[in-house]
């Protein structure tokens, strides 16, 4: 190969090299490196806790406010047979294994005269409003861990609504029913 041929060859290699570099630069511009802003795997860590697998949450207690207005207090009275081994519902009824439950809706928790409550219940505080009764009657020991009420709970929303409708009637003046706004708030909308 003569000198001119060699020069052409080198020029060719040079141009090819330049084009390659230009190509890489161009690719850089066209396809910008996207920095990963998040971990590709999102690891859920509960706030203030460590990432341990938690037991699946129980589904209940389902909302019952909307059911209360049309709940059946007579059916509730029948359900109350599940309670009467331990509770009296009548006005002036005495404490038994559990406290007397006349006037219980909206009463302070753990406040029936002369009944010896568990520390768990008296420490819990608050009133027996509809939401508290719904949660407690769904599963007493889940709502107040350490309560000495040995009762599995009423799993059916309609049972709890009927039961609470009956409790509401066992009072000097039945508590007002939940408002539309309260019903909406309870069911998360």
Asked if 161 interacts with ligand HEC (CB under 6 A), we say no
Asked if 137 interacts with ligand HEC (CB under 6 A), we say yes
Cβ pair 118, 146 in contact under 8 A: yes
User: What is the closest distance, in whole angstroms, from the C-beta atom of residue 184 to ligand HEC in the complex?
Assistant: 25
Asked if 98 interacts with ligand HEC (CB under 6 A), we say yes
Binding ligand HEC (rule: CB under 6 A), the pick from 64, 71, 88, 149 is 149
User: What is the closest distance, in whole angstroms, from the C-beta atom of residue 158 to ligand HEC in the complex?
Assistant: 14
Instruction: Please report, as residue ranges, which positions from 59 to 88 form the binding site for ligand HEC (by CB under 6 A).
Output: 82-83, 85-87
Rounded CA gap, 87 and 77, in Å? Answer: 12
Rounded CA gap, 72 and 91, in Å? Answer: 20
Binding ligand HEC (rule: CB under 6 A), the pick from 91, 150, 176, 187 is 150
Rounded CA gap, 183 and 5, in Å? Answer: 91
Nearest to 117 by CA among 99, 92, 90: 99
Residue closer to ligand HEC (CB basis): 149 or 183? 149
Structure tokens at 9: 């060859």
Asked if 127 interacts with ligand HEC (CB under 6 A), we say no
Structure tokens at 81: 């047979």
Rounded CA gap, 70 and 91, in Å? Answer: 24
**C-alpha distance from residue 87 to each of 11, 37, 101 (Å):** 102, 59, 7
Asked if 118 interacts with ligand HEC (CB under 6 A), we say yes
Which of the stretches 13-21, 37-45, 113-121, 177-185 binds ligand HEC when contact is defined by CB under 6 A? 113-121
Q: Which residues bind ligand HEC (CB under 6 A)?
A: 82-83, 85-87, 97-99, 101, 104, 109-112, 117-118, 120-121, 128, 137, 147-151, 154, 163
């Amino acid at each position: 190969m003569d000198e001119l041929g060699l020069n052409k060859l080198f020029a060719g290699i040079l141009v090819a090299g330049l084009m390659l570099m230009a190509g890489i630069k161009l690719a850089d511009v066209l396809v910008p490196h996207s920095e990963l802003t998040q971990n590709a795997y999102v690891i859920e860590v509960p706030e203030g806790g460590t990432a341990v697998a938690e037991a699946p949450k129980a589904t209940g207690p389902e909302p019952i406010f909307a059911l209360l207005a049309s709940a059946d207090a007579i059916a509730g009275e029948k359900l109350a047979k599940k309670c009467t081994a331990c509770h009296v519902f009548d006005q002036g009824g005495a404490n038994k294994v559990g406290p007397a439950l006349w006037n219980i809706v909206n009463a302070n928790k753990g406040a029936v005269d002369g009944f010896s409550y568990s520390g768990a219940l008296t420490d819990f505080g608050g009133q027996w409003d509809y939401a508290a009764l719904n949660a407690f009657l769904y599963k007493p020991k889940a709502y107040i861990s350490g309560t000495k009420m040995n009762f599995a709970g009423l799993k059916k929303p309609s049972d709890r609504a009927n039961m609470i409708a009956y409790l509401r009637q066992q009072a000097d003046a039945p508590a007002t029913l939940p408002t539309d706004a309260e019903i909406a708030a309870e069911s998360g909308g």
